[in-house]
């Protein structure tokens, strides 16, 4: 089964960037416990402190579903809904790259 790649682009509401970083912390802790989560990185724009993107790589669709359906994701949903001004999620399949596990 093919690996699943996810890129999420999110913008925190004005003045709420630090809250968003904290919310990502709980999601990262969960991801570190998931054997099927191969890569999970949170990135912040150097030009806009309210703009973030997350790169995720999962071993397969089951691993992506396990992360998406986790208790940490369920708990983060309402929090993110309050913090985010906008978001975009792109789900795909990695084709090539350097350093992919």
pLDDT in tens, 8-35: 999 999 999 999 999 999 999 999 999 9
Is 4-92 CATH 3.40.50.720?
A: no
Does the structure show a pLDDT above 90 at 69? yes
Measured CA to CA, the distance from residue 2 to residue 100 in angstroms comes to: 13
- Which residues neighbour 77 within 8 Å (Cβ) at sequence distance 6 or greater? none
Give the H or E element holding residue 83: helix 71-83
Question: So where are the chain's domains?
Answer: 4-92
Q: What is the pTM of this model?
A: 0.92
Query: What does the mean pLDDT of the chain come to?
Result: 95
CB 3 within 8 A of CB 97: no
Residue 1 has pLDDT above 80, yes or no: no
């Amino acid at each position: 089964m093919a690996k699943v790649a996810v890129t999420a682009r999110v913008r925190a509401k004005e003045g709420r960037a630090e809250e968003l970083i904290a919310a990502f912390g709980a999601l990262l802790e969960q991801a570190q416990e998931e054997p099927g989560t191969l890569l999970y990185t949170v990135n912040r724009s150097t030009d806009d402190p309210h703009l973030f993107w997350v790169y995720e790589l999962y071993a397969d669709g089951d691993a992506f579903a396990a992360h998406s359906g986790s208790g940490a994701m369920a708990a983060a949903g309402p929090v993110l809904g309050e913090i985010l001004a906008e978001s975009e999620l792109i789900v795909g399949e990695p084709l090539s790259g350097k350093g992919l596990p």
